[in-house]
């Protein structure tokens, strides 16, 4: 989708979990508005496909890839070194990497719990520490005269516990509260930190569930807008929160659930 606005001109952005779904849509939106985007994820083939789709619409490539595991501090340190060598600085961090599995708490082993906490919550902590720390150094050099933002992708499940996803719900609630703590710590550098909480969205994470007609009809019945959302609709919100238009907004969570919680 072409955009007349160019809110991210001269910005370098990092998007984690960018190979598909919301991460891919957010990367595309930022690139369409002028950003140079680094797509980060564990699966190189998905990143390559996403970057190709973004760059095919442009005369000058806007997307590149950096395969990395965002639960691994060494991988993040290597990514930071790459950014420093290639660009010297960066301005926008979208922490979108995540995942879930279904299971009852009483039947869940500790390894599964730890894995979901790691990919959803520890990843945000490490990315904020390593990448955010590097961004803070850049902010010190520019004295806060440019737009810098961290956007963490949380979930409706962080507000209302979902059935058979106690580990995911707990992790996403943690992301929302961690966001507030990060906002306090990064404010001194002029870096805003906010979270976005999507409701039921068409992504690879929800693909299997959305093949169940009863599940889809239940979502439609219990959502004020009576439909499942699209990844591009969440990307729109992420782009706004990351942009200078949200310059007085930090420590907030934006719930984008189609009206699920008001039903």
Residues taking part in catalysis:
168
Q: Cβ(194)–Cβ(246) under 8 Å? A: yes
Burial of 4 (0-12, 13-18, 19+ CB in 10 A): exposed
- DSSP readout, 95-153? E---------GGG--HHHHHHHHIIIIIHHHHHIIIIIHHHHHHHHHHTT-S-EEEEEE
CB atoms within 10 A of CB 195: 28
Instruction: Number of helices (H) and strands (E) in the chain: give both, helices first.
Output: 9, 9
């Amino acid at each position: 989708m072409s955009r007349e606005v160019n809110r991210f001109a001269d910005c370098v952005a990092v998007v984690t979990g960018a190979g598909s779904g919301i991460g891919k849509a957010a990367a595309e939106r930022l690139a369409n508005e002028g950003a140079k985007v680094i797509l980060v994820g564990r699966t190189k083939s998905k990143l390559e496909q996403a970057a190709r789709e973004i760059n095919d619409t442009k005369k000058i490539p806007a997307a590149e890839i950096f395969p990395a595991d965002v639960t691994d501090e060494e991988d993040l340190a290597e990514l930071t070194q790459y950014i420093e060598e290639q660009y010297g600085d960066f301005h926008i961090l979208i922490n979108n990497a995540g995942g879930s599995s279904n299971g009852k708490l009483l039947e869940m082993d500790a390894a599964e719990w730890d894995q979901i906490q790691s990919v959803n919550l520890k990843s945000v902590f490490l990315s904020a520490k390593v990448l955010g720390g590097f961004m803070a150094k850049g902010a010190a050099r520019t004295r806060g005269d440019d737009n810098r933002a961290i956007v963490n992708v949380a979930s409706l499940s962080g507000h209302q516990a979902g059935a058979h996803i106690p580990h995911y719900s707990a992790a996403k609630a943690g992301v929302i509260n961690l966001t507030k703590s990060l906002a306090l710590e990064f404010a001194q550098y002029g870096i805003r930190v906010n979270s976005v909480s999507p409701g039921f969205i068409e992504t690879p994470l929800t693909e299997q569930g959305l093949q169940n007609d009863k599940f889809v009809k239940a979502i439609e019945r219990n959502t004020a807008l009576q439909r499942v959302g699209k990844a591009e609709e969440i990307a729109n919100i992420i782009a706004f929160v990351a942009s200078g238009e949200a310059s007085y907004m930090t420590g907030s969570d934006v719930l984008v659930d189609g009206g699920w919680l008001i039903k």
